[in-house]
Structure 1
Amino acid sequence: MERLIEQFIHYLLVEKGLAQNTLDSYRRDLISYFKFLKTYEISSIEDTNRSHIIGYLLSLKNKGRATTTISRNLASIRAFYQFLVRDRIIEKDPSQNLESPKIDKRLPKVLTVEQVESLLNMPDLKTPVGIRDRAMLELLYATGIRVSELVALNLDDLNMKMGFVKCFGKGSKERIVPLGSLAIKSIQFYLDHARNKLIKGKAEEALFVNHHGNRLTRQGFWKIIKKYAKPASIEMQITPHTLRHSFATHLLENGADLRSVQEMLGHADISTTQIYTHITRSKLKEVYSKAHPRA
């Protein structure tokens, strides 16, 4: 069964062009499922049935796994069985018609404009690292790109003259996102005064590098944003994705249309983007409640 996983992962890579993080997620989910099957002493995928899948999902629930995790595992298992049927390794798909658990859509946490300003002003512009951090935070808020897209940026992906950045999102889909004037200014300052000091003569194509002169990692950026949140008096738990959520919400609050925001975020389905309209509506209700004399 382990060999079938690798065949499936290869198929997702070659045929679907999925990102490495997504492939790793599929692999983890299926390995976990196969470990569960071994408790039933099942050694062949052909011997699995609907009850085995349900039993696995229930075991995840009993372990206290989140509904989103259970739903993702089912999606991985379903895609795997569909692949096996497609390649005629099995005849019937036991996951067919299994319903995913209902997920309560929680509104993402969003910073106020004032909190964003405070966060962006935290890095020390007297140091190369501070200059780099300011440029990264400005770029993230200016474009709404994912942190994985941010750290994957190369120098060639920037067009400072035209004011845009090229990035590759989920499924390696390329998109062009405009840069604001303040982000351009911060990035240019980083390129002129900090990057060369950080790479120390290395031949490195990455736009943002760590103090060793190598490409910055997602984990590295996570630590950076956490470091600045507290002195910026931001008490809520923030992640790199918080700036992405804030970017989208602030655009919609200021009149941007949903389709344009969808394009900039790189969402395949506009329903994913629509969650930000719920945030703006709840903000309107809050303003109304505070301001209207008979609210």
Structure 2
Amino acid sequence: MESKNHTGITQFLLLGLLDDLELDPLLFGVFLSMYLVSVVGNLLIMLATCIDTQLHTPMYFFLFNLSFVDICFISTTVPKMLVNIQMQRKDISYTECLTQAYFFIIFLGMENFILTVMAYDRFVAICHPLNYRVIMNPWLCVLLVLISWVIMFWIALVHILLLTKLTFSIGTEISHFFCELDQLLQVTNSDTLINNIFVYVVTALLGFFPVTGILFSYSRIISSLMRMTSVASKHKALSTCSSHLCVVSLYCGTGLGVYLSSSVTDSTRSNTVASVMYTVVTPMLNPVIYSLRNKDVKGALRRLLRKAASWP
């Protein structure tokens, strides 16, 4: 098969989730519904945290950013898949593919960072309540988010620059519904040693530091809760952490599920279906979890909907 690099007119073929064309209408309806639920739900969270003054705190500032990242995360992959299903096509251009991979890496990493920062925020709120406003001042909150964006922009850029050095065959098939970095490295005709080394190093760092930060924060929170004598204080502290714990558990659980599925079976299609959990299901469920388990968010959403209903 003829091989061309990135300077040629190159297209990839996204094989998607299913081979049965008769199931495409069902697949389109399911993913369109999930996408709309995710976007609308996260937009409502963002509007509530912006409009309601009671939610102008560091905790909800980070929730705003998490909702924004979730919208961007799911919008990186699902719309292209929906277009391909609707038009009964599987192609994606070289530029579109690298662009999709670039933003996917950014938002995947940002999800990790935001969840870690939110754990640190809960640690400060529960373990150092008297100094909470001093420590978690607006400048620090903005700085933490800004640093996370800068780190992920540069990491994703290095990944893409390394990808541009690789060559691919015309009509290369990708066994996924989006351009995942690992899949691109599997289908290239070039040596991927440097790419793989960078992937392993970044994965180790972006896995180690967020997980360590979250575990450290909650170990200190649990230690602080055990020293509390008031049941009411314990309940209040736990209630502020419950939504975040559910989101972290969902995110880590789906990620672990993808890892285990790839380790247990060599079926690429099984891995693709498993990856739907953290790329589509998690961004959809995050706003549901926060709206159901957080009374402040529920109250803000009710007030927002009442205002919308009474709008002339």
Q: Identify the TM-score tier after normalising by the shorter chain.
A: under 0.3
User: More helix per residue: 1 or 2?
Assistant: 2
Structure with greater contact order relative to length (CA < 8 Å, sep ≥ 6): 2
TM-score (norm 1): 0.23
What's the TM-score once normalised by structure 2's chain length? 0.22
Bigger Rg, structure 1 or 2:
1
